Amino acid sequence: MQMPTPITRDIALVGGGHSHALLLRMWGMDPIPGVRITLINPGPTAAYSGMLPGHIAGHYDRAALEMDLVRLARFAGARLILSRATGIDRGGRRVLIEGQSPVAYDLLSIDIGVTSDMPALPGFADHAVAAKPLDAFADRWQAFVERVAAGAEPAQVAIIGGGLAGVELALAARHRLGPQAKVALIEAATPLAAVGRGARAALLAHLEKAGVALHAGNPAVSVAADHVRLQDGSHIAARLTIGAAGAVAQGWLAGTGLALEGGFLRVLPSLQSETDPAIFAVGDIAHLTHDPRPKAGVFAVREAPVLLHNLRALALGRGALRPYHPQRDYLKLISTGHKAAVADKWGLRLEGAALWRWKDRIDQRFMAKFRSLPTMAMPQPPAPPASGGLPDRPLCGGCGAKAGRPALERTLARLPQPARPDVVKGAGDDAAILAHGAGFQVITTDHLRAFTLDPWQMARITAIHALGDVWSMGARPQIALAQVILPLMAEDQQAETLREIMEAAQSVFGPEGADIVGGHTSLGAEMTIGFSVTGLCDQPPLTHAGARAGDALILTKPIGTGVILAAEMAGLAPGRVVAGAFAAMSRPQGNAARLIAPHAHAMTDVTGFGLAGHLLSILDASALAATLDLAAIPLLPGALALAQAGHGSSLLPANRQAAARMWMTEGPQTDLLFDPQTAGGLLAAVAADQAPALLAALLAQGETAAVIGHLGAGEPFITVR
């Protein structure tokens, strides 16, 4: 078998700005074998600034201006870390990340944009929102629009900053909120000072026609919940105050030791830092020392090919670096709220609906680059494969990659019964049970085929997944052994990747009181992470047996990880949906287990065999039937839509064999009962009169828990209603 090219170089991209998004798209079409790309960004999407005014005005929905970084990273073969960079260890060549292990780099590029935050303005942090970053602002704006529509508060908006951004936002807000809205634009000096004479006259006329109150030469001095106070002592009524004055760099850059200009990274024509040639900066966060330019997305877009060329040249160790020369002037198309625009170039006054249509075409053409990523040719087998009835879908990662329950049960049935006296016979549960002095020890093992290229995220989820068997038996985690298969990589990359894996594992096992005591590593075709875990019980562990007729069934996590991961592998799962699944999988269940275990008659964790398969294990062991309330079963956001679109895990067909012992109406929602879960929740049978109090306690500690059904007498069978 031909093995993949070993990883020998690491390029880290901090921020999902326009330059980095374009770079990832170009990289996906022509990657360098052996180079690992890592994108670090706080969220799964990045907003395109050119369409934000249209979104505020109501012409575009939120999805129209979002670049999906999850899909883009999958296309580029890049690792995506959904967290915020907080610093750079330049000596160790590592990016420091909030809540996660540092990530090593050989080359680093920064494209984190800027903020229009105004921390020095009293009350701004508590009562206002910055127009940048765009994602946070769009969230606040949507919430405000909904409150106004519901009559919960008046349509009063104040915008601080009378440049192009502020004027566009003022006109867009006035259009969206309607003629009854009160919109004020506050400028400390001269409005639109950087705009040509013709465009300035046109925009001022649009402000007047729209009824936007312009307060020029009278700066804001404080912000309150319902007004902005100006220097002359007057108050502007405002239930939403927006900061659009200037651009501020993120503060953590000051601690990097890199040369800065007003907080922005000083870069050479090659886009390299003046201080460190291994570090690049692009977009609004970069200060072009050779030719300073205003903060505008057009420059970021044109920097991307130069950045890509220079990173490739350094990664390959050959080729001259290319300089970036920004254009002297560029056409600005400024939206006027309604579907019209003003053009700013050469001092002319050009305006009208045709210009908005032109701007819309430009913006839509740019976003189309990310909505419809090129279809890359898949590697073909060297010869036609033998027939055998294997599924035609790719093998999933996570618990979707395990063997099906029927095959596993046939194999386990052939094993002899345990002969050792310290093995508790006939347990047949989530973990093996050993008699241990006056108490009991449970032991289990789990490993997962990687579904994310981020070793830290993968290790944390796998550790939580492995502990599920211990938690479900009411045991206290004791020790863990790691089993790690790394993809082929150079020794330095091996060390850094193993460091990330073990630090992530410690973040899960440590708080649970378990020690990591060793393990085994090897190299292979792809990353696989596993843990063998033991736990201790003073009393006999909880098993699948012991459930009673009349018990309520409590589920502590939503289901749907299998369908989401399957769709993500195909590049068809929305980034926000994937991020939600990762967040759910990354939530430990130790606190939930300690809350439920003293009251549970039987408990299991919901993993690869899906909710239906794991419930049937309880029914078989307890000789009971179950009724499920389909509407009560919590689902991960987006899971049902993906199931309706026909997505499903490669393990789904095997899991569906459980349907032979179920009565239900077939459909996408019932398909999710067979969806294999990775790091899923606990499923517990508890006395019906105790279920409400337990559920309330679970919800109070942040679990997405629900009572999903009940148990009754009868043959092991599930009725879904």
- The answer to whether 616 touches 658, Cβ cutoff 8 Å, is yes
> Which tokens hold the place of 403?
């063997």
Q: Give dist(CA 708, CA 112) in Å, integer.
A: 44
Q: Give dist(CA 462, CA 531) in Å, integer.
A: 8
Q: Give dist(CA 569, CA 654) in Å, integer.
A: 20
Strand, coil or helix: what is 432?
strand
Q: Which of 443, 428, 484, 406 has its CA nearest to residue 622?
A: 428
Question: Catalytic site residue 399?
Answer: yes
Question: What does the DSSP 8-state code read for residue 661?
Answer: G
Q: Give dist(CA 642, CA 636) in Å, integer.
A: 11
Report the phi/psi class of residue 550: left, alpha or beta, with left for phi > 0 and alpha for psi in -120 to 50.
left
Which burial class, exposed, middle or buried, applies to 538 when counting CB atoms under 10 A from its CB (0-12, 13-18, 19+)? Answer: exposed
- The answer to whether 393 touches 650, Cβ cutoff 8 Å, is yes
Query: Catalytic: which of 399, 442, 484, 658?
Result: 399
Q: What angle do CA 64, 67, 70 make, to 5 degrees?
A: 130
Q: What angle do CA 171, 172, 178 make, to 5 degrees?
A: 90
Q: Is the peptide bond before 133 cis (omega within 30 degrees of 0)?
A: yes
- The answer to whether 478 touches 536, Cβ cutoff 8 Å, is yes
Single-letter code of the amino acid located at 331:
L
Q: Give dist(CA 18, CA 286) in Å, integer.
A: 13
Q: Give dist(CA 320, CA 314) in Å, integer.
A: 9
Helix axes 455-472, 575-585, angle to 10 degrees: 50
Q: How many CB atoms lie within 10 A of CB 414?
A: 6
Q: What is the CA radius of gyration of the chain?
A: 29
Which residues carry out catalysis?
399
